[in-house]
Amino acid sequence: MTMSSRASERLVHVPLGERAYDILIGPGMIGRAGGEITSRLKGRRAAIVTDENVAPLYLEALMDSLQTDGIEAVSLALPAGEKTKSLDHLSTVCDMVLSARIERNDAVIALGGGVIGDLAGFAAGIVRRGVRFVQIPTSLLAQVDSSVGGKTGINTRHGKNLLGVFHQPDLVLADTAALDTLSEREFRAGYAEVAKYGLIDKPDFFAWLEKNAREVFKGGAERIEAIAVSCQAKSDVVVEDERETGRRALLNLGHTFGHALEAATHYDSSRLVHGEGVSIGMVLAYQFSARMNLASPDDARRVEAHLKSVGLPTRISDIPGELPPTVQLLDAIAQDKKVKGGKLTFILTRGVGEAFVADDVPSSEVMSFLEEKRST
C-alpha cells in the first residue's frame, strides 16, 4: 500500500494487468472525480447511476466536477434499497446508458452504496459487451467491499445476486467525507464487512479493531486506516483469484447464512440490511465451526462480543418479525451461489483469522444448528 501525495489519503493499487486500477481513499474525492477520471480514461461521456437518497447530497458536486474537466454527463436516480437490484431496474439503466450514446471508452459511474454499484456495474458489463466503469461508493460497506473486485449483479426471486457478471471498475473513488452523512445503522452495517477481513486471515487487524472501533466510528485517521486495510485485503484476494474459483470464496465468510436471512425477510431493509445479515452470519459461522469441533467456543463468543459492542445484531432472534420455517432457510442456503454440485459449501473457521472453505457440509447438521439458534 502506498500513501498518496496528500497525508490524509491512501492509494491502493489493484494489479490486474490490463485491467489494473486504483482505489483512492480520503475526503473530497467526489469534487476531484472529473480530474481523476480524465487522467485515466479516454472517453468524454458518462452516465451516472445513483439513488434518490444520495442524489440530493452529491450528484450536483459530481456533475460540476465532470463538467469542469470536459465530461458530458447524464444521470438517473433510482429508488433506494435492495429491491432496486432487479431486472426491471437493470433494463431502465441499460436503456439510459444506450440513450446517452455511451461508447466503450466512455464510462458508467456508480454514485451510491452497494446496491447502485452492483446494478450499475452489471449494466456497464453488458452494454456493448462492456463499457468503462467508475465506482464512487458513498457507504462504508461499498467502500470496503462491493466497489472492489468486479462482482456485479442483481437479485431474483430465487435468491440474491444470482444474475451478474465479473466486470472490474477502472477507478474507485472512496470519498470518506461522504460517510459523515450515513445513519449510524448504515455505518454499523458497513463495519461488519471491515471486521470480516480480520476474521478471515488478519487476526492482528481484528485485535486492532477491538481496540480502535470507537475511533473508526468517530472518523479521522483510524477510519481511513480501516478502509485502506480492508481494500488492500480484498485487492490481494482478488488478484490471486479474480473469478472466485478458490481463495476468493473466503470473502463470503458469514454470507451464506446472511444471504439466507436476507431472503427470509424478502430484502426488507426495515428488518435487515446486508451488513446486519453478514454480522449474524459471521457469528453463526463461528458458532457452527465450534459445533463441528473445528474451533473453540471462546472464539465464537469473542466475535459475538465485538460485533455486539458496536451495536450490530448477532443472533437470528435479533431480526424483527416472523421468519419462515427452518426448512425454507435451508432451501435459501441451497440456492445460494456458494453451492457446488448441490453440496452445501460454507466458509468456516479454525479460529480468529483462520477461515477456510468447507465443502460438503451435511445439511442435517445445518438444519439442527439453525433450529437451535432460532430459539436463542
Contacts of 315 (CB under 8 A, 6+ apart): 280, 283, 373, 376
The identity of residue 280, as a single letter, is I
Task: Using the CB atoms, write b or e for 1-18: b if 16+ within 10 Å.
Answer: eeeeeeeebbbbebeeee
Residues 217 and 329 in one domain: yes
Residues 285 and 336 in one domain: yes
Whole-number Å distance between alpha carbons of 90 and 191? 28
Residues 295 and 357 in one domain: yes
List the CATH number of the domain containing 47. 3.40.50.1970
Of 161, 181, 201, the last residue of a domain is: 181
Reply yes or no on whether 271 is catalytic: no
Of 146, 165, 181, the last residue of a domain is: 181
Residues 81 and 22 in one domain: yes
Residue of 244, 262, 276, 304 with catalytic role: 244
Q: What is the pLDDT of residue 1?
A: 43
Residues 136 and 252 in one domain: no
Determine the 3-state secondary structure of 320 from DSSP: coil
Residues 95 and 83 in one domain: yes
Residues 354 and 207 in one domain: yes
CB 5 within 8 Å of CB 75: no
Helix (H) or strand (E) holding 282: helix 274-291
Reply yes or no on whether 306 is catalytic: no
Residues 152 and 234 in one domain: no
Q: From residue 220, how far is each of 5, 85, 214 by CA, in Å?
A: 17, 32, 11
Reply yes or no on whether 252 is catalytic: yes
Whole-number Å distance between alpha carbons of 13 and 23? 6
Residues 138 and 25 in one domain: yes
Residue of 89, 132, 248, 373 with catalytic role: 248
Reply yes or no on whether 373 is catalytic: no
Domain extent, residue 63, equals 2-181
Q: What is the pLDDT of residue 250?
A: 94
Residue of 45, 234, 306, 373 with catalytic role: 234
Reply yes or no on whether 13 is catalytic: no
Q: What is the pLDDT of residue 339?
A: 64
Reply yes or no on whether 244 is catalytic: yes
Residues 56 and 158 in one domain: yes
Residue of 89, 132, 223, 255 with catalytic role: 255
Reply yes or no on whether 132 is catalytic: no
Determine the 3-state secondary structure of 110 from DSSP: strand
Q: What is the pLDDT of residue 3?
A: 39
Residues 123 and 149 in one domain: yes
Residue of 186, 193, 262, 276 with catalytic role: 193
Q: Which of 342, 316, 345 is nearest to 329 (CA)?
A: 316
List the CATH number of the domain containing 291. 1.20.1090.10
Task: Count up the domains in the chain and report the number.
Answer: 2
Helix (H) or strand (E) holding 52: none
Reply yes or no on whether 234 is catalytic: yes
Residue of 132, 223, 252, 304 with catalytic role: 252
Reply yes or no on whether 42 is catalytic: no
Q: What is the pLDDT of residue 4?
A: 45
What burial class does residue 362 get, using C-beta atoms within 10 Å of its C-beta: 0-12 exposed, 13-18 middle, 19+ buried? Answer: exposed
CB 132 within 8 Å of CB 108: yes
Of 163, 181, 199, the last residue of a domain is: 181
Q: What is the pLDDT of residue 7?
A: 54
Per-residue pLDDT tens, the chain, 376 aa: give them.
443 435 589 999 999 999 999 999 999 999 999 999 999 999 999 999 999 999 999 999 999 999 999 999 999 999 999 899 999 999 999 999 999 999 999 999 999 999 999 999 999 999 999 999 999 999 999 999 999 999 999 999 888 889 999 999 999 999 999 999 999 999 999 999 999 999 999 999 999 999 999 999 999 899 999 999 999 999 999 999 898 888 899 999 999 999 999 999 988 989 999 999 999 999 999 999 999 999 999 999 999 999 999 999 999 999 999 999 999 999 888 876 556 666 788 999 999 999 999 988 988 899 999 999 998 8
All three cell numbers of 188: 454499523
Residues 122 and 199 in one domain: no
CB 62 within 8 Å of CB 175: no
Reply yes or no on whether 212 is catalytic: no
